[in-house]
Amino acid sequence: MSTLVKTGLLHACAGASPALGGWFLFSGERIDAVGLPGEPCPPADDVLDFSDCSVMPGLIDGHTHFSLSHSDEIDPMPVMRQLGEPGPRKICKAIMYAGEHLRAGVTTVRGMGEDDFIDFDLKAAIAAGYIDGPRVSPAGAFISPTHGHGQTGQTVSDGVEGTRKNCRVNLAKGADLLKVFGSGGVVSGQAGLGYCTSTLAELRVAVEEAAALGKYVAAHVHGGPGIDLCLEAGVRSLEHATLCTDEQIERVAAAGAWVTVTFSPLSHPSGLRGLDPLKQSRLEAIRRTYYAVVGKMLARGVKMCMGTDGVHGAMWFEAAEMEKCGATRRQCLEFITRRAAESCRMENDIGTIAPGKYADFIALRGDPLEDLAHLRSVAAVYQGGARKG
């Protein structure tokens, strides 16, 4: 059965000019055709009339964790404790958060690490239709050493062979990527933002194991020598990169590595809260530098996408903060759709409204190129041609 989608304004590909009165046709899960400007609509079995809306590809969150939220009002607790909660409890919360993503227009999420491998189960349950949620590109368990960020004691990756084993466990379960650590984090214990807890050999073996199955590695890294070690090891995507120096930005650009920018935990009202003085000082150090660092990355042409890192559905906020760094609105829309699809290596399936790709799209009650705030006025969400919100 074919379905014709009529739009007021069609943003088929973020970065390109939108088409007034644009239309596209899909059957089943995939898009068949996209109308050229002025081209008459073809006949179809069904019609979705969004003539009073802007329509654009579904949003892509490049970095989050389904098992945690910085703003859990039901049972507030530090994020590291949330990660270590029993698996079934995390799954229950993850189902709720998956719904929050969808309702906010996020149709794909890259899961950047979970204990109990819940992202694999979540992905399978969504794909089977047991629950609604975004498409999931899972990393599985963190590849972190005993004293590293994100370590809850469940999958400890020490030394080359210890690291290799946990990489292989994740890959066997269906990981699209492996998540390693090139520095501590805001909520870490001993490991601060400028210290690297992984050795070059450990980072290299993760890259080697991922590449052996055609996968890639993403590294949590704020600053310090870990950024250089990750680049040297061949890590494909740097997560956060909040304290990147000017020299390191040059090296990131030269290496063609991706950066996933995450403003939400730092600056969103539902971001990191209630920290002790040490962790609060780390957070403030990042806040002071991040907007300038991202502005420099923009100027240097570093490949970027964005992620909410536990503020579920807040891609509108990520886009708005990116505009403050000097990005054009077109770039902001690219980072949360087309560029994110490339970063996730899913560009053949998602990221634009184009023949052959999934019919993942959202209707907005306003043009996001006029004001990015319209990303919040979601009128309808479709995933694989099915209405989800």
Q: Which residues contact Zn ion by CB under 5 A?
A: 112, 309
Closer CB to Zn ion, residue 8 or residue 140? 140
Closer CB to Zn ion, residue 112 or residue 266? 112
* Cβ proximity of 118 and 94 under 8 Å: yes
Closer CB to Zn ion, residue 53 or residue 83? 83
Closer CB to Zn ion, residue 112 or residue 320? 112
Q: How far is the CB of 34 from Zn ion (least distance, A)?
A: 35
Q: How far is the CB of 344 from Zn ion (least distance, A)?
A: 15
Q: How far is the CB of 112 from Zn ion (least distance, A)?
A: 5
Closer CB to Zn ion, residue 209 or residue 309? 309
Give the chain's largest Cα–Cα span.
63
Q: How far is the CB of 314 from Zn ion (least distance, A)?
A: 14
Residue 162 phi, psi (nearest 5): -65, -40
Q: How far is the CB of 192 from Zn ion (least distance, A)?
A: 17
Closest by CA to 365, choosing from 6, 8, 63, 89, is 8
Rounded to whole angstroms, the Cα distance separating 56 from 59 reads 9
Angle in degrees, CA 289, 241, 308, rounded to 5: 95
Closer CB to Zn ion, residue 180 or residue 362? 180
Closer CB to Zn ion, residue 116 or residue 309? 309
Q: How far is the CB of 187 from Zn ion (least distance, A)?
A: 10
Instruction: Show Cβ contacts of residue 30 under 8 Å, excluding neighbours closer than 6 positions.
Output: 356, 357, 358, 359, 384, 385
- Annotate 54-90 with three-state secondary structure: EEEECEEEEEECCCCCCCCCCCCCCHHHHHCCCHHHH
Q: How many C-alpha atoms does 6 have within 13 Å on its Cβ side?
A: 13
DSSP 99-136: HHHHHTTEEEEEE---GGGHHHHHHHHHHHTSS---EE
* Cβ proximity of 320 and 373 under 8 Å: yes
Q: How far is the CB of 63 from Zn ion (least distance, A)?
A: 6
Closest residue to Zn ion using C-beta atoms = 309
Paired sense of beta strands 23-27 and 177-181, if any: unpaired
Q: How far is the CB of 269 from Zn ion (least distance, A)?
A: 19
* Cβ proximity of 343 and 349 under 8 Å: no
241, containing H or E segment: none
Closer CB to Zn ion, residue 58 or residue 265? 265
